[in-house]
Structures are given as structure tokens and as C-alpha cells.
Structure 1
Amino acid sequence: MQLIRTSALAVLFIFLQIIGFAKSPSLTKAPVPDWIRQKEVPSKMPDLEDISDGYYFESIEYQVNLSLQSRFYRTVKVLTENAGAENAGQIHISFVPQYQTLVLHELYLLRDGKRLDRLNLSKFELLASETELSRSIYNGTYSAYLLLDDLRKDDKIVMSYSVVGFNPVFGGRFFDSYVLQGFEPTGALHINYIVPKQRKLYFKTFLGADSPKEKDLGTAISYYWEMPSTTHVAYDFNTPIWYPTRQRMECSEFEKWSDVAKWADDVNPIPLPAATGKLREFADQLWLKAKKDSIAYVKEVADFVQNEIRYMGVEVGEYSHRANEPEKVFAQRYGDCKDKSVLMATMLKHRGIKSRLVLVNSWEEYNMETYLPSPNAFNHMVLYFILNDRGQYIDPTITNQGGNIRDRYFPFYGKVLHVQPGGKMYDTEKIVSGNTRIEERFHIQKDGTAILDVLTIYTGANAENTRSYFKQTAKNQIEKSNIEYYQKLYKQVKKRTPLHLEDDIANNVFRVKESYTIDKIIELDPTTNRSTVYAYASSLSLYIPEIIEPRTTPIALSYPLALEHDVYIINPNSVNVPALSENIYESRDSYYFGKSITTNNDTLKVAFRLGFHDTHVKVDQVDEFMSDFSDLNNIFTCAVYMDDDGFVTGSNTQNKTNWWAVSIFLVLLALFTWLTIKYYHKRSASSVIYLYDNAEYDAVGGWLILLALALFASPLRVFFNLMVPYMFSLQVWNTFGYYTEMSKTLLSALLVFEFVINTLIFFLSCYCFYLLIKRRDIFPQTLLALLLLQIVFTILDTVAASVLFSKPPETFSEYAEIFRTIIFGIIWILYLLNSTRVKGTFVVKANDKVEVLPTEDIRP
């Protein structure tokens, strides 16, 4: 309540100041000026399917006479529905009485061919509208307001008026801009500028808009657009403000950006503090406090201007662009961006530190160089100071900045204009200064409850924003908001300890500690019907802009952004969690995101990441962005399965053998042996590989020795590298896929498939080694079948795992194993098909003796 009363008194004080020096607003009435150009092209009826709010503009006129400093407006609204009266019947005309006069010309209805006059000045209300009040800026803007009565469907509302007077702060120079397309179609658009011949007004159009037509009026030239209809432009949500989507025009009497810089320098010179004023005295105190060190002095001045001079501006008349005197700003302890920048520059100048004002546009990060030079291109002022031959930008309107003055965060403003004679446009840097790291530790209890400890660490610019937030918001309100956040995610959450804050302003680090109890942390997953603890990173998903297809514009991002959200699931009684690793990470041109799962002793860690290193997603990368974030739940949520005993699944089965798997392995070996002896072992070789009729070699030799070694090692590798640690592990069979959201049935099927095929490979490897020793004729074809089986199995298993886990192999060793199996198989298959030693060695049939030919009969 105290804050509300203080704010109310401040607002009242500001308004009293405005009333004290602003002109009393009034309305006048006059005929349409004779200098107005008459529209020559009739309006076209727009498609009513594109119209909302129950009305449309049949025509819009905007005409400017530079010599008379007059802007003329005329609109014709057509009500397509009775509901349109609610919007079309409210008239608001804004003007600044300090230097403008509002003159009303026409206001009437056209109904059934009759003209119904409604222009009655006494019915207008003059209200202080203050169009920038939300930014704590009081600009003295008034609004002439009228609510039309007795409006009906098909009525036409015709209104025209003039706003006379230009802001004198621009020294008689004129500039303007106008959007030629809207988000709804218009029946006709008429724009006209009457420019005296002795004045040069530059024009520029954008997105293919036509240049103005010209007409010589004798002493002046008319530059005009007359469009019988305008097409509407579809609006894409979350489009960057700077991205042009509608045709528009600009005009300006400023020829170069250096002209704008000189104008700004003339309007806002940087004075020295008054010789006997309080500002000089205070600056001297800061100098002594800084121990006469220039860097330390800059920090003291920046801290004072940013934090002690509150952001609030009275921008009436010329003070829309002219700063108040530094002595006044210092005394009243408030000011806008101009006031704060000039005050800081004055205090630096007092100690011989060079600085200059800088004009920026806080919305237009790109395309500034394509605009016509004019003061209208900027909406903000900052400062650039030079110390020890090093220049640095600083924004005096940012509060609660910490750390070293040389590391102070400065936003990315694109191109900026340095205010000085001959001033130029310069690029500012993209700096991701700041990080937010959330650490949530869930200490699981055996009864299904949990203790949640949360540590959030803000650094850099994020620390500054959070510091300001906590200074402006009640702590109880923040605690309430935080606990409501967790109550939406988990059941029966209660605050365990009060919110604890740690502000390390010297290093610009801000820490927030929270602690809660959760009476029911384990839930039943509806998909798998398993007990589950969910890890959420909902705070990250809030930064992903919502996109609606189809889209043809870039996507605006909350740049800069660097977020880390780590969730720790901690087992009861310090029981170790099974070894586990999963990593999903993607880095694009303008953003990155990822999720990884690791384990360490009794803790399972789920790490979520999201960051933006550009202000937007380019048009040609929109589809990729939409694909990346098509399933936010999968990216920023993770299900951790729990056993009935309250531990992370698999915690109590580590290093234990699944004797059922061992038994089935032995049964399968016995089955394969019985089937082989009964149906295959006594068969003769097929014609798949051609063999000689008689043996040409009485022993295994040549490359066959290497093959024999490989066959001897193969079953050992399968048994000790796959069967024992993997297929015989009770943990694997109990926890396969517990950390994913995949179907347990599909994952189990994959495991069974791998078990059976690896057992078959183990058996065939042993059998092939036996056949090789015996030089059996069926060895080549049996080994050929084994090699083909290994190749096909490796490919199928890799594809199946990639599909189920939505990721390909990640490590070099995984790829090496795949290629080793395939290359090994191909080499030995080619050897079996082409080697004469194979054809002359493996000729022994079942129960046959080998007859070796004399040496001289052996073929070469």
C-alpha cells in the first residue's frame, strides 16, 4: 500500500508540473482547407471475408502541408454489422497542446443517401491520454474523445480534421513515415505531401511500394500516392518488430546520418557542472570515494545515475528530444534516458573523461541502415565513454548492474548513431552476458515422499534483472508464486524453509534457495503403467515462441538467453543408481537445446539446456525450428521409473545375475545343437561355394590360420563382452528403457531379439571353429551364413535401436564396432568365394577319410 500511495503522489506531482507549463487544450472548428488535394480514384469494395470488428475503411486520407505545418486526416468507415458500432463509433484524436492545435472539419453519417451531421464540439471530451505512461514517460498528449450514438448497420462515418503545428525541437526540419498496407484491406488510400520548392524532401519506399507521383503547384510540389485499394497482409505472431512485412514509405529533410548526429548534438550539448552547484560538489565526493581512480569513478557515477536517478520523464513539447539541465535532474532525482545520459556525461566531463551521447532504437536490431536518416529512426539514448584509449557503451537506464564496470552488460541494439558533428553509424556487439542455472535436488524417501531443495543461480545480466525483480516485488508474493509453480507439477507440496537470497553484487551473482516437502512424488505413468518420478524443465519451454503454420517470416527469440536446468533424483539410503548415459543435443545458427542423463553414485541427473545466440530464427530455418520443438514435452520432461521398493529402477539389482537368462541361454544352445546334429551336420556341401573333389592340402594353413584365430576369439568375445555383462544381467532385464518414454513392449522385444541372435552367433562361431578343425565340406557355407547373419543383424539392430531411441550411434566405439563387423564379414565372404586353399582344404564329408593327392598333381 505504501508503494501505491507513493506512486500516486508521484504521478500527481508530475501532472501538476505538466499543467503548470503546458498550454490549455481547446478545440476549434473550420471548413476543409482549400490546399487539400481531392481524391481522383474511386474506392474499391474489399472482400468482407477479410474484415473483422464489424466495419472497414472505405477510404483513408493523410495529407501534409509543410509550409503551414499542418496534417490533414480524413476517414470513411463503413459498418458491415451492428456490432461494428462499438469500435467504429469511438473517436480518439491525439495531439500535444504544447505545440499543436486540433481543428475539426467534418463529422457526419451517410445513411440511406442522407447526410446526418454529428459535429458538435461541446460533445467532445478532452482527456489527458499520456500515450507513454506505461514507460513512466509523461508527454503531455491529450485526446479528443467522442462516443457516437445511434449507429446502424450500413452507416458510413465520415470524419476529417487537421493537427496544426510541428515540434520546434527539430529546428524546422520535417520527416515522416506511413504504412501503405494494413492487416485488413482498405477501399482506398490517399497520401499527399505539399513541399515548398525551396525545401528538399527525400522519399523512400519499401517492399516494392510505388514511388510517389509528382505535381507542380507553382510554389510547391505535390508528392502523392493514390491507391484505389490496398491488399491486407497476414500477421504472423512472434515476428521480430524490425522485420518488414508491409509496404511503407519514409520521407525526411535530413540528407545524411551525420546531419541527424549534428542536430542531436546541437539539441543536447554536454555542459560542465555549475561552478558552485550541488552537482559539482557531489561529483567531487564521488571522485574522493573512488580514491581519484578514473575507472572507479566511472563505476561510482554509473551506479549513482542508474540506481539513484529513477527512470521517469516529463517529455512535453521540445523535451520529447531535449534533455533537462543536469543540475535539475540531479536535484529532482528522476529523468528519462536523455536526462540520465546527459547527467552522466556531465559528471564524467567534470573529471576529463571523454564521452558522447548515442542514439539507438531499442526495437530495430536490424535494417537501420536502410532507413532514411531522421530522428524518427531512434527511440532511446545511451552513453559511450572513452578511458585509457578504450571505448565502452553503457545504458544509464538499466538498474542494479554489478560486477566490474568494464564487464557491465550492454544490450544488442544493432546499429547506433554517435552524437557529434560528423557522427556515424556503428554496430553494437551481440553479447550473451548472463546465465540462469536451476538445480533441483529431489531427495526420495522410501515411503514415496521427497524433500526438494532448489538452488537458482543468476549471473551477469540475469543477476541484474533478478536483483531488480526482488527489490520491486514483495518476498511473500514471490514465495507464493514459486510454491504455486511446484504445486502444479507435484502433489501436496509444502514450503519447508523460507526463501533465502544471496546477492554477490561485486561478482554480479544472485542466488535464490528454496526448500519444499512433497508428500507424493511417485506417480503412475499412464503410458507404461509404471511408478515414475517426473523431471520437468517447464521454465525452459516458456521461452519457445508458439508458431502457427504456414509461416513466411522469421521467429523472434528472447535474446540473449542461456538457461541450464539440472534435476537430481537421489536414491534413499545412499543406494547407488545403475550406470546410465543418454545425450540429446542440437546446436543451430540461432539457438541450441539438449537433454542428457547421467548417474553418479546414488544420484541420477537429468540436465536440460536451452539458449539463444541470435535475436531471431531466419526464414529459411523456420521449418527446422518447428521440427526441433514440435514435441516440447519430450524435450523438457523426463520420466524416471521407480521400483516398488521406492528406489530408482535397477538400483537393487546391480551386479546380480539373471539366472533365468543363463538357463534359457543353455537351453537355446542345447536346442541349436540338437537341430544341427539332426538336420544339418551329416549333410554334404551345397553348390553355394565350389569345392574340389579331392583334398589338395592336408592341414589348415595360409590365411585360414588367421580365420581360425578369429573364429576361436569370436565366441569368447560374444560371451564375455555381451552375454555376461549385458544379457545375463538382472539389472538390464529389469531396467531396460526405464529412463525413456519408449514402449516397454518394444524395448523388451528388442532385448529378446538381441539375446536370441547373440546366442545363435555364439553357437555358430563355436560350430564353425569345430568344422574348420575337421576340414568339413560344409564349413565354407556355414561360415558364409554366419557372416551374413552378423552383417544383417548388425544393420537391423542399429536401425531398430536408432528408431526406438530416436538417435543414431553417438560414440566412435559404437561406429567402430558396426564397421568392424561389416568389413570383417565382407572380407571373409570374398575370401571364401575366391580362395583355392578353401576349395582344396574343406573337402571332408561326414564320416569320410581324406585322400591327399601327390604333390606333383597339386594345381598351382
Structure 2
Amino acid sequence: MAMRMLLAAACLLLSGLAWAGDTEYQRGDYKFSVGPVPAFVQRHEVPAQWDPKAAGADRPPWRFWLYERQADRRSGRDLLFTDYAYEVNSASLLGEAGRYQLDFNPGYQTLTIHDVQLRRGGQWQNRLDPEKISLARRETGFEKDMADGEVSALIVLDDVRVGDVVRIAFTVAGSNPILAHQLTDGATLSWGSPVLDSYLRVLADPGTQFATHLENGAPEGVVSNRADAAEIAFHRHGSAAIDNEDDYPVWYQPYPMALVSARRSWADVVAWALPLYPDPGALPADLESRIAEWSRLPTPRERLTAALRAVQDEVRYFGVEMGENTHKPAPPADTWRNRRGDCKDKAYLLSTILRRMDIAAVPALTSMDRGRSIGGYTPAASAFDHVIVRATLDGKPVWVDATMNQAGGAAGSTDLSRYGYALPVLAGTDALQAIAPPDPPDASGVDVSERLSPADGGKVALEVVSVYRGASANGNRDRFASARLDDISRGYADFYRKRYGQLQESAPLQVRDDRDSNTLTITEHYLLDSPFDDLDANTRALDVYADALSAPASLPKSMVRSGPLYLAVPGEYRHRIDLVVPKGWEAKFGRETEEYKAAAFDYTREVKPRADGVAIDYRMKVREYEMPAADVAAELKELRKASDNLSARLQYHVPASLDAGERDKRLQDLIRDAMNEGARK
């Protein structure tokens, strides 16, 4: 007994301060505690020296000595312990090293801080000062129309120096009760800086069978069964920094990651979700009237489209993600009356309306954050972050997202295949369902036509007609619906000022929206003062650029890649430039055709001079959303060529006599304008 007491005292001394028990600290409506580490935790100490054979021994600007998460999910316990130690070796990073943020949801969680320590010169210092810890409800998602009730404990350390090791340990007790313990615990075991040791350990009730999902070389878990618990543990030592190449498809992340949960089936998840979507009951009279009106439309697809647009456009997106509201939708009647709701609220409302019109429809759980990667996840309610609707027409699934404002086209024409998989909330469902692209495919793309021609006073008339289809039309329609037309028009004009110099708008911006075909057409008219550059006495040049292809042909942040690359929404992207020049100008370039082909796209540029000017036609056909990792090097080679080919300099020889005449005409125009201005004064 004496030895056990001595060991316990030693452990408390190592943690920096001995606490007889948890001590609460109130900050307004919120509180946190300071106390000892939970008994289930098996702590790993930070070694005195970095392993010289491990990555990070060269003391990079930032390195992690320890990262571990330990969860106790046994019945009656719900604890997640985190221990985190890092070292800063760059003065420019001291500000980041001296602050830390711990997030929890006081609606169902409590926060206990165990240690805040700093090692300098081989000696650990206690830096835990509860009086200096503040709590703040940050609501970081409010700008995205989300309120989740999370609170942050903000820890700011004084006197942090280069070479210091900071260690913070804490426990969050509790998890969202609406999930009914359908949780997945996980950890990223390597990051963008070297990590000496990373751990994940999970305890469950005795006899529990674990299911795991591993990504990017994460180690296998070691399972042990004891009388008091089933345990699984992961450890990774000496992890090198992982380069984040960015521009990944949504489903991919580059870090070694381990996920673990109790073994269950997708049918178990459906059984959990079904009670969240009960019989909706009566609907408001005005909604019933609308349903009766939609029911008179000729076809089920038209009825589905009308209802979808009403929920998308008339019910604004706003989510109160607190407590059971994180996963339990509001009654459809309330969502309609309040004219607001998040994805689950709107999906519940829409599926209810559709069933009233005898269209089979159910909410379907999916993941916007990880897309198709959830196909390999361990079944759990926590795998999902979004809800859409699966309707059935002519025996085939039709996937629609009620949160997509201002979407055009018939219901089901928008490609949701980037979500990968969904789990329909329907009794008898026991597997994820793949979300296939619409058939026929969504006709997405952009078609821009620029025409430049001589105008009075030596100026150049510019007409731009931009046609957006599919996903491109949806994005622009939403932008036009949420901004003043004058502001958009001014922005468009400034865009061309940056390209061609000073200009005046010669006609108002015109917007024509064919929402049924999901086509948005924008027409602009300008007078350019002097878009040509004088290269010498007899040479004029005009720089042009294919903006319509700039997004799909853009190069990624990192050209050397080991992961896949997101390219663009599949579709046709085209930019035509038609230049008319004054009589007598002679092109100093000839006809040419450039072609670049890859598995994911085709690109062509045709330059066709003619007696009065030139026509340039840029085309890019994107076939795939992404480039697989195995093909990305070869594909990027062609994409770089296409990206470099988007700009062109058109040079013309101007005979001296024409040049002199043009100068005289410009001078006369200036004199006339000055006289007119003087007369007005």
C-alpha cells in the first residue's frame, strides 16, 4: 500500500501539480475543471532525447514529441484523453507555440485539464494557471449558417522560447447522446511535421469485437482482451513529415490515419436513424395547397422538380447543431413555417412532400467531407455529416440535395456522385448505396465568346457573351441572386479594365436565365480606349487570354505529387475570340493548331487568321473529376502545356500611311471632345 501511494504521488508530481480531486472554474455560463488523469489512461512519458535515427532529429522548425489519444467507451464511461507535446525551433513560430485551444460542447461534455507543462534545459516547469484560462463560445461555423454550441478553452503561455517543449494533457468526458454510442474513435498518426511517437488506444466492454479502417500506411492495431475490457492500441514511431500537396479530391487525405469502433453493420446504423424520422404528422395548410398544385403537374419528374426548387429556394439554410438537433431533424411542419433548416431538416421536409405526391423518397445519410472514402469506413452514425434525398422514379434512384440554392435543370440532373455513397434511411437497408452520375450526364461547362471590332474615335468595341451550363450555371445563378446587379456589373467591367485598359460600359449588363435547361447567359458591351500596345512605329499587339478554361486548366500548388489531383467538373469549356482589325493591318502570325490529350481531358487551340482579323478557338473537354495518383505525372505534363497555351499575343503590322492617318484622326477626336467639354462649361 505504501509503495502504491508513493507511485501515485510521483505520478502527480510528474504532472506538475498534485490535485486532490477535480476543481471547477466558472467562466460566465461555462466551466472547466483541473484534475488528475483518469485511471484507465496508460501514460507515455516524453523521452529526454529525440531518437537520433528518427525523422526530425535535425531539429526542424516544428516537431511533435508525443501525440496520443486514449478513449474509454465502456458502459457508464465516455472519456477521451489527449496528450500532446511539441517543440518549436523557429522564432517566427513562437506565437503559435504559445497558445492552445481546447474545444468541447458543454451541452453534453465536460473538460478537465490535467497538465500544461514546459520543458527547458531538461527541466519540466508547471505552467498550468487556471485563472489565466478563458472560455469562449466561438461559433466558428456561424458565417456558414451553423450554430453548434461549442466552447473553446483558450490557453496562452508566457515566455515560450526556441527549443522549449510544450506539453498539454486534457480529457473530454461525454459524447453526443443522440448518437447512442455509435461512435468512431480515430487519430491521425503523422502530420506535416515530424512526430516521434503517436498512439491511439480504445477500451470497450469485455467481449467487444473491433472494426478498423486504416489509411496511408497506418499500423495495424493490437487487440487484447481482459476481464474488465477489450482493448485495441496503435503506435507509430519516428514519423517523417507528410507533404500536403493540396488540390486533392474530397475523398482523399494524405496522412496515416486509424479509425476504430465496435463491430456493427450498416443495418444497425439504419435502425439507429429510423426513429429520428418518424411519421411527420400534419403539414401547414399553405404547404398542403402547394402540394396539391404540384400534384397536378403532368409527370412525376416535374412534380419532384417543383418541390425540390421550393425547398431549395424558399427554405433558407441555417442549422442549430446543438444536442439532439445535430442529428434529429425538426418536424417538417416547423421547417416550412420557419422557412429555415439544415440538410437533415430540408431532406426530411422534401421527402415528406414527395411521399404526399406518391413519389417514393427517403432521407439518405452521406459525407461531404470524405466522399467515397466512407465506403471503407467502419459502420457508425458518426461517419456521416450530410443528408440528401433518394427519390425513386421508374424504378431508378434519383439523388437530390435540398440544400443547393438556385439549382437549375430537372431534378436528378445535378451530379452528386462526388458524395460517393449514401445510406438510405429505410427499413431493410443493410449496405451503402453508390451514387452514380445522372444518365444522361449533367451538361456542365462554360462557353465564352469575345468579339473586338473597330469603333468610332479609334476605340474598340468589345462584346462578351458568356454561357454557363450545369454546375457552372448553378454557381453563377446563386451569385446573381445574392448580390446587387450594379456591383456585379462593376466587377465585370474592372475585370476587363485589368486586361485591356480603360473602358466604358456601352450597354447595361444583360442576364438571361433558362432555369429549366440550367443555362445562364451573360452579355456585356464595352468601348475600349486603347487595348493595343505599340511595340514599335509600325507594330501593334493585343494580348488575349482564354478565361473560360482558366479553372479546369489551372496548375496545382504542387507539381510533384504522390496523391491524386482534383481537376474540374466534367464538361465542355470553350473560349472564342473574334478580332476584327482596321483595313490594311497585316497579321504577323499564321494559322496554327495546338492539341494536348490526356486520360482526364482533351485540349485544343485553333488560330485562324483572315483578311479582316483572326478567330481563336480554345476548347477543353474534361472527362473526369480527378487524375489518379498513378497517372498524375503524365497528365500534369499535358495540363501544364494547356495552361501555358491559354494566352496569346496577336501582333499586326500597320503601314506607315495608315498609322499617320490614325494618329491624325485620334488628334481630331481629342480636339473635338475638348471643345465640346468647354462648350458644356
Structure 1 residues 631 and 285: CA distance shift in structure 2, 3 A: closer
Mapped contact 2:219–2:236 kept (Cα < 8 A): no
Aligned counterparts, 1:687-702, within 5 A: none
Match of 2:471 among 461, 480, 503: 461
- Secondary structure of 1:630's counterpart equals helix
Give the structure 1 partner of residue 664 of structure 2: none
Aligned counterparts, 1:159-308, within 5 A: 159-269=168-278, 271-274=279-282, 277-278=283-284, 280-288=285-293, 290-291=295-296, 293=298, 294-308=300-314
- Secondary structure of 1:344's counterpart equals helix
Q: Distance in 2 between matches of 1:611 and 1:156?
A: 52
Structure 1 residues 641 and 114: CA distance shift in structure 2, 3 A: closer
Match of 1:333 among 311, 319, 339: 339
Supply the AA of the counterpart residue of 2:474. Answer: E
Instruction: Provide Cα deviations, 1:197-230, integer angstroms capped at 9, x if missing partner.
Output: 1433322333333222234442113322234432
Structure 1 residues 646 and 448: CA distance shift in structure 2, 3 A: farther
Mapped contact 2:223–2:230 kept (Cα < 8 A): yes
Give the structure 2 partner of residue 32 of structure 1: 37
Give the structure 1 partner of residue 516 of structure 2: 506
Deviation at 1:79, TM superposition (A): 3.6
Give the structure 2 partner of residue 753 of structure 1: none
Q: Distance in 2 between matches of 1:212 and 1:161?
A: 23
Aligned counterparts, 1:664-703, within 5 A: none
Q: Distance in 1 between matches of 2:640 and 2:470?
A: 31
- Secondary structure of 2:436's counterpart equals coil
Deviation at 1:516, TM superposition (A): 1.0
Unaligned stretches of 5+ in structure 1? 1-22, 650-860
Supply the AA of the counterpart residue of 1:570. Answer: V
Give the structure 2 partner of residue 854 of structure 1: none
Structure 1 residues 144 and 494: CA distance shift in structure 2, 3 A: same
Give the structure 2 partner of residue 394 of structure 1: 400
Structure 1 residues 114 and 575: CA distance shift in structure 2, 3 A: closer
Give the structure 1 partner of residue 375 of structure 2: 369
Give the structure 2 partner of residue 706 of structure 1: none
Deviation at 1:92, TM superposition (A): 0.4
Structure 1 residues 570 and 219: CA distance shift in structure 2, 3 A: same
Mapped contact 1:209–1:248 kept (Cα < 8 A): yes
- Secondary structure of 2:599's counterpart equals coil
Unaligned stretches of 5+ in structure 2? 1-27, 660-681
Q: Distance in 1 between matches of 2:455 and 2:357?
A: 63
Q: Distance in 1 between matches of 2:468 and 2:656?
A: 34
Deviation at 1:637, TM superposition (A): 2.1
Is residue 618 from structure 1 mapped to residue 628 from structure 2 by the alignment?
yes
Deviation at 1:447, TM superposition (A): 7.1
Supply the AA of the counterpart residue of 1:238. Answer: D
Q: Distance in 1 between matches of 2:166 and 2:557?
A: 37
Is residue 154 from structure 1 mapped to residue 159 from structure 2 by the alignment?
no
Instruction: Provide Cα deviations, 1:547-567, integer angstroms capped at 9, x if missing partner.
Output: 534322222112234321111
Aligned counterparts, 1:776-795, within 5 A: none
Q: Distance in 2 between matches of 1:438 and 1:49?
A: 54
Give the structure 1 partner of residue 65 of structure 2: 58
Moved more, 462-471 or 556-565: 556-565
Mapped contact 1:239–1:554 kept (Cα < 8 A): yes
Mapped contact 2:593–2:604 kept (Cα < 8 A): yes
Mapped contact 2:69–2:82 kept (Cα < 8 A): yes
Q: Distance in 2 between matches of 1:65 and 1:418?
A: 31
Give the structure 2 partner of residue 586 of structure 1: 596
Mapped contact 1:447–1:646 kept (Cα < 8 A): no
Instruction: Provide Cα deviations, 1:680-733, integer angstroms capped at 9, x if missing partner.
Output: xxxxxxxxxxxxxxxxxxxxxxxxxxxxxxxxxxxxxxxxxxxxxxxxxxxxxx
Mapped contact 1:570–1:603 kept (Cα < 8 A): yes
Instruction: Provide Cα deviations, 1:372-413, integer angstroms capped at 9, x if missing partner.
Output: 222333221110112343431111011112333464554532
Mapped contact 2:597–2:638 kept (Cα < 8 A): no
Structure 1 residues 32 and 389: CA distance shift in structure 2, 3 A: closer
Match of 2:426 among 420, 445, 451: 420
Q: Distance in 2 between matches of 1:448 and 1:637?
A: 25
Give the structure 2 partner of residue 551 of structure 1: 561
Mapped contact 1:41–1:226 kept (Cα < 8 A): no
Q: Distance in 2 between matches of 1:571 and 1:474?
A: 36
Deviation at 1:97, TM superposition (A): 0.8
Aligned counterparts, 1:464-503, within 5 A: 464-503=474-513
Moved more, 429-438 or 283-292: 283-292
Match of 2:461 among 451, 461, 469: 451
Q: Distance in 1 between matches of 2:475 and 2:461?
A: 29
Q: Distance in 2 between matches of 1:497 and 1:50?
A: 64
TM-score, reference length from structure 2: 0.84
Deviation at 1:292, TM superposition (A): 5.7
Match of 2:357 among 351, 357, 369: 351
Mapped contact 2:538–2:655 kept (Cα < 8 A): no
Is residue 570 from structure 1 mapped to residue 580 from structure 2 by the alignment?
yes
Q: Distance in 2 between matches of 1:59 and 1:472?
A: 47
- Secondary structure of 1:190's counterpart equals strand
Mapped contact 2:584–2:655 kept (Cα < 8 A): no
Moved more, 614-623 or 449-458: 614-623
Mapped contact 1:558–1:612 kept (Cα < 8 A): yes
Supply the AA of the counterpart residue of 2:34. Answer: K
Structure 1 residues 51 and 290: CA distance shift in structure 2, 3 A: farther
> Which structure has more strand as a fraction of its residues?
2
Moved more, 388-397 or 438-447: 438-447
Match of 2:653 among 634, 643, 647: 643
Instruction: Provide Cα deviations, 1:747-794, integer angstroms capped at 9, x if missing partner.
Output: xxxxxxxxxxxxxxxxxxxxxxxxxxxxxxxxxxxxxxxxxxxxxxxx
Q: Distance in 2 between matches of 1:613 and 1:648?
A: 48
Give the structure 1 partner of residue 550 of structure 2: 541
- Secondary structure of 1:470's counterpart equals helix
Q: Distance in 2 between matches of 1:401 and 1:252?
A: 38
Percent of aligned pairs with the same residue?
22
- Secondary structure of 2:245's counterpart equals coil
Structure 1 residues 485 and 118: CA distance shift in structure 2, 3 A: same
The aligned length equals 621
Supply the AA of the counterpart residue of 2:31. Answer: S
- Secondary structure of 1:187's counterpart equals strand
Q: Distance in 2 between matches of 1:641 and 1:291?
A: 61
Mapped contact 2:295–2:357 kept (Cα < 8 A): no
Structure 1 residues 512 and 377: CA distance shift in structure 2, 3 A: same
- Secondary structure of 1:343's counterpart equals helix
Instruction: Provide Cα deviations, 1:137-182, integer angstroms capped at 9, x if missing partner.
Output: 1111110112111223333322211100011112223312211111
Supply the AA of the counterpart residue of 1:593. Answer: Y
Deviation at 1:589, TM superposition (A): 1.6
Q: Distance in 1 between matches of 2:93 and 2:541?
A: 54
The structure whose Rg is larger is 1
> Which structure has more helix as a fraction of its residues?
1
Q: Could you say which structure has the greater relative contact order, defined with CA pairs below 8 angstroms and 6 or more residues apart? A: 2
Supply the AA of the counterpart residue of 1:473. Answer: A
Deviation at 1:575, TM superposition (A): 10
Mapped contact 1:28–1:102 kept (Cα < 8 A): yes
Deviation at 1:345, TM superposition (A): 0.8
Q: Distance in 1 between matches of 2:293 and 2:656?
A: 64
Supply the AA of the counterpart residue of 2:633. Answer: D
Instruction: Provide Cα deviations, 1:177-196, integer angstroms capped at 9, x if missing partner.
Output: 21111111112222211222
